[in-house]
Amino acid sequence: MLWLESAMPDWKEEVRKHLPSDRLRVADPDAIVSELATHLEETYAHARLQGLDEAAALKRTLQVIEDGHVLAQKIIRAKESAVNHRTKSLWLPALVTLFAASVSLTLFQVVGVRPRLLWVGPWAFTLYWAWLATLPGIGAFGGYLSRRAQAPATWLLAASLSPALVMLIVMCVILPWGLVIDGFHFFRLIGFGLGLINWVVIPGIALLPGALPFLLSNDAGSRAVRTEA
């Protein structure tokens, strides 16, 4: 190669050879190519300053960018937008958890598993024992999906508890609506409180043990060496 002895290579061209544009699918690939090219240029100059001849300096420089495939993948992951990250680590696990909890409840209702009424004084709590027994597993699945996508602890918790959180939102909409339509009744508030316990607090408590292992390991990992995004 003639340019080995005569002139420095076109570093941008070298980067493009290893990181073709079809691999580097990010918003501004040219800026990345320019920056990596400056790195190669500096590496080459540094090698020459250390006394290497042109060929040896060039060989060392090109070794730096040898594995273009891995580099492209890492850059794409690093440049991935915050929206994508939120979708993968919060919304998607939350939807999956919610869907699984809904399907599980529906299945038990279809096969005729009845809820049990638990009387505490004058108050009756409706407990779907069979369904509640599945919730730790469902919460764990949501936690796993969320942690796999490197979610911060709050997102992981929200994804795992999403069935309870959605019910909380629904109930917070129903209560004021009911008060507006029917007027204020003390018993409506009592009903709301019981609904809150039956559909938010108890399922939330059932989901939590599934989320906790992921939450704790996520927290331990990120606090000890602090890598969370």
Partner 1 sequence: MTKRIRTQIARGSAELAILSLLEEQPLYGFEIAKQIGERTSGALTFTLASLYPLLYEMEKRGWLEARWQANAAGRDRRYYHLTPKGRRQLGPLREEWRSFFHALDALAGVSHA
Give the separation between CA 206 and CA 176, rounded to whole angstroms.
Answer: 27
Could you tell me the smallest distance in angstroms from the CB atom of residue 4 to partner 1? 21
Q: Which is nearer to partner 1, 40 or 207 (CB)?
A: 40
- Residue 74 binds partner 1, judged by CB under 8 A: yes
* CB 160, CB 139: distance < 8 Å: yes
Question: What number of chain residues touch partner 1 (CB under 8 A)?
Answer: 30
Please, which residues have CB within 8 angstroms of residue 144's CB and are 6 or more apart in sequence? Answer: 214
Give the separation between CA 223 and CA 229, rounded to whole angstroms.
Answer: 12
Could you tell me the smallest distance in angstroms from the CB atom of residue 21 to partner 1? 17
Q: Which is nearer to partner 1, 70 or 181 (CB)?
A: 70
* CB 141, CB 125: distance < 8 Å: no
Could you tell me the smallest distance in angstroms from the CB atom of residue 88 to partner 1? 14
Q: Which of residues 22-61 bind partner 1 (CB under 8 A)?
A: 31-32, 34-36, 38-39, 41-43, 46
Among 33, 57, 75, 138, binds partner 1 (CB under 8 A): 75
Applying CB under 8 A, the residues found at the interface with partner 1 are 31-32, 34-36, 38-39, 41-43, 46, 64-65, 67, 70-71, 74-75, 77-79, 82, 221-227, 229
